[in-house]
Structure formats: C-alpha cells, structure tokens
C-alpha cells in the first residue's frame, strides 16, 4: 500500500473546490494510487517530466488534473489540482507545482 498525502492545506482545498463529480473521481483515482502506486500508468496517470506526474480526472463536469510526485517510503504527494482548460498544462501550473515541491522538501530537511 502507498500513502497519498497533500503537500499543504491549499492543495487539499483545491480538490475540495472541484465540482462534486470531478471531486469524487479525483478521490477514486487517489484510492487507485494507494493500491497500485507507481505501476498505475496511462491512461490514468502520466509522467510530465522533472519527477512530476499528473492524475487524469474526467467526469461529465469536465476535466481536471492533479500534479503529484513520488517520495521515499511509498509516499505520493499531491502538489496541486486544477481544472484543465487547454490541451497542454500551462507553464505557470508546472512552475507552481515545482515551487510547492521545493517548499515541501525544504520543510522536511
């Protein structure tokens, strides 16, 4: 079993602010990550580079993504969640995820 946690309260609130069907789907995907961890792969997750991955969340209410990373000890850290509005993940979203990861690692050390 893997442990899924949020990098901070802001990341948790981003999931909770999703429309209800997307939110339910997001939590279902996180349960799958707890069970399958880094073996889950596409189409559910995708490596987006720089040790970051995305959870692909889709429902009748739209499309969302959660960006996460793997940490030592079978831990998955959810860095941020957003409603997807374009084909590619906006650069500022990836930069924000990297910043949260950096803050997480600095606080841990």
The residues with which 64 forms a beta bridge, in sequence order, are 57, 83
Q: Which domain holds residue 43?
A: 3-108
Task: Write the CATH number for 51.
Answer: 3.30.2310.20
Q: Which of 52, 56, 72 is nearest to 64 (CA)?
A: 56
What is the tally of structural domains in the chain?
1
Sheet containing 3-6, strands listed edge to edge, beginning at the edge strand earlier in sequence: 3-6, 75-83, 62-71, 52-59, 45-49
For residue 109, pLDDT beyond 70 = no
- At 38-50, the pLDDT tens digits run 898 889 999 999 9
* Mean pLDDT of the chain, nearest integer: 93
pTM for this entry: 0.92
Helix axes 20-36, 9-16, angle to 10 degrees: 130
């Amino acid at each position: 079993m893997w442990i899924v946690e949020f990098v901070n309260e802001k990341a948790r609130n981003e999931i909770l602010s999703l429309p209800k069907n997307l939110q339910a789907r997001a939590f279902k995907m996180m349960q799958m990550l707890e069970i399958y961890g880094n073996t889950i792969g596409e189409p559910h997750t995708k490596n987006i580079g720089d040790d970051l991955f995305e959870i692909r969340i889709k429902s009748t209410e739209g499309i969302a993504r959660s960006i996460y990373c793997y940490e030592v000890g079978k831990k998955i850290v959810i860095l941020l969640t957003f409603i997807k509005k374009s084909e590619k993940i906006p650069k500022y979203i990836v930069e924000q995820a990297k910043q949260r990861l950096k803050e997480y690692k600095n606080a841990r050390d």
